[in-house]
A = this chain, B = another copy of it.
């Protein structure tokens, strides 16, 4: 197991190392002999010793808020693959949106001397001050300014996404479009990019903004339940609606349930569009229109940027915006 074992056989530590790494000059005969013994003994180099010596780990840490959420886990999967292809192993940690675990994981990763970090933003905004100051870092799912120069953030343009969603409904003839948001953040909705994109699209179409159509839940319960209640409340108050912009697919599902419970038809009486284009959008009945955030591209741009940073390259772009597509299905197209 130990290199000694392999070395003892016939060659010195140095030679064995050279053979196994293809470095230095080694006689063909010796090479074969060492290789054979290493194989037979099932020799695996000691990573700790290696990284101690090399002062690099070829490892990156990935911190996610909630890996059981498809959106995040798809991102992690894709990140891992890209990094893996570039010769890096990934270390994925799930903080379950717990700031304490977040801090602890950051510490742990630094401790492990990761060569790079990816932080995926969650419900709760990442506390960037906790980020290390030197390690190449990518923040995903949120555009922000870094604390140091080896820092990049990657996201879609949330405002544009909401704009697109709203415009999609308006283009299909809706005139009473509601915005349904669910978020634990204390940030007022009226100052969010979501709201801005919504308002902007209304304005462009010359449709009057009605604050009664701006609904917001605090994410105290599952978002679909909360959304259903918000929409039910609106309908019960006699509010007229013919379109719903939901900030997520689960929110959209809640809205659909509420609409149907009130005897209205989704896709004709009321059009609904969700966001994130999660697998459920295709499986749900009616199939849900949604905005595809290009998760693959999001992750690959992030991986790409991180790899560049780890290679010591200086990026001219510290903020990367990934495009998105509206995917229309039954909930806006009708049967």
A residues near B, CB below 8 A?
A: 44-52, 57, 66-70, 73-74, 76-77, 80-81, 84, 89-94, 96, 101, 107-108, 110-113, 224, 250, 253, 257, 279-280, 283-285
Contacts and interface: CB of A to CB of B under 8 A. Distances in A.
A81 B96 contact: yes
A48 B45 contact: no
A45, A68, A250 interface centre (most CB from chain B within 10 Å): A68
A89 B67 contact: no
Given A48-B51, A101-B84, A67 B57 contact: no
Contact of A68 (B73, B250, B257): B73
A96 B85 CA distance: 13
A96 B107 CA distance: 29
A41 B303 CA distance: 30
A250 B111 contact: no
Contacts of A81: 94, 96
Main secondary structure, interface of A, reads helix
A52 B54 CA distance: 13
A76 B80 contact: no
Interface centre among A57, A69, A91 (most CB of B within 10 A): A91
29 contacts: A44-B107, A44-B110, A44-B111, A45-B111, A46-B52, A46-B111, A46-B113, A47-B111, A48-B49, A48-B112, A52-B52, A67-B73, A68-B70, A69-B73, A73-B73, A76-B94, A77-B94, A77-B96, A80-B94, A81-B94, A81-B96, A89-B93, A91-B91, A224-B283, A250-B283, A253-B283, A279-B280, A283-B284, A284-B284
A284 B286 CA distance: 10
Given A46-B113, A48-B112, A284-B284, 5 more contacts: A48-B48, A81-B94, A89-B93, A90-B93, A92-B92
